[in-house]
């Protein structure tokens, strides 16, 4: 019987542990947590008790980051285009262009619940003032959504990325 050095035994054990660890595909790999932060920082806002006709007193659209009390509804259209000539899709909302300019982004909240970031790409005959109409893929989802009161925050457009060698506008 051959005697092995303690270093060789440690190396052999490490090798065997490494092989058995690689052989079990079911076990998840432990990874350190990752923290993702948005490049856009807006102060938190809770709007309570604002009049639904507040926009009549405003002489200009809201500024970026201003919380705006809105009523949210939902609509469903298929094979149709928006006011800007694009096909309807997830992430599109209809709004009054006098209050929320077209081709801008808004973030919608119901209470403290974040609904997401939406592109204002459509208008509607009945969408006047502080009403936001969210596109839904099915009419059933639109009916279930109903009418909700919430808050809209106008956010700046994402910075455009220009690749090296491309011509800038």
In degrees and rounded to multiples of 5, residue 55 shows phi and psi of -65, -20
Q: How many domains does the chain have?
A: 1
pLDDT tens track for 91-144? 889 999 888 888 889 999 998 888 889 988 888 888 888 899 998 888 999 999
Residue with the larger pLDDT of the pair 49 and 15: 15
Please report whether residue 13 resides in a domain.
no
- Alpha-carbon gap, residue 24 to 19, rounded angstroms: 9
Please report whether residue 133 resides in a domain.
yes
Please report whether residue 162 resides in a domain.
no
By CB neighbour count within 10 A (0-12 exposed, 13-18 middle, 19+ buried), where does 102 fall? middle
> Domain with 69 in it: what CATH number?
2.40.40.10
In whole angstroms, what separates CA 72 from the centre of its chain? 16
**Domain interval for residue 144:** 54-155
Instruction: Give the closest residue to 107 by CA, choosing from 151, 147, 69, 142.
Output: 151
């Amino acid at each position: 019987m051959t005697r092995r050095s303690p270093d060789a035994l440690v190396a052999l054990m490490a090798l065997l542990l490494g092989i058995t660890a690689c052989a079990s595909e079911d076990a998840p790999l432990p990874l350190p947590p990752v923290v993702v932060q948005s490049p856009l920082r807006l102060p938190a806002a809770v709007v309570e008790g604002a009049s639904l006709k507040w926009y009549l007193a405003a002489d200009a659209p809201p500024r970026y980051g201003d919380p705006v009390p809105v009523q949210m509804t939902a609509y469903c259209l298929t094979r149709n285009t928006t006011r800007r000539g694009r096909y309807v899709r997830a992430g599109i909302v209809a709004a009054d262009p006098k209050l929320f300019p077209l081709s801008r982004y808004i973030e919608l909240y119901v209470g403290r619940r974040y609904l997401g970031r939406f592109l204002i790409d459509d208008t509607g005959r009945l969408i006047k003032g502080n009403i936001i109409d969210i596109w839904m893929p099915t009419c059933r989802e639109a009916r279930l959504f109903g009418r909700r009161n919430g808050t809209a925050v106008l956010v700046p457009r994402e910075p455009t990325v220009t690749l090296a060698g491309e011509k800038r506008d």
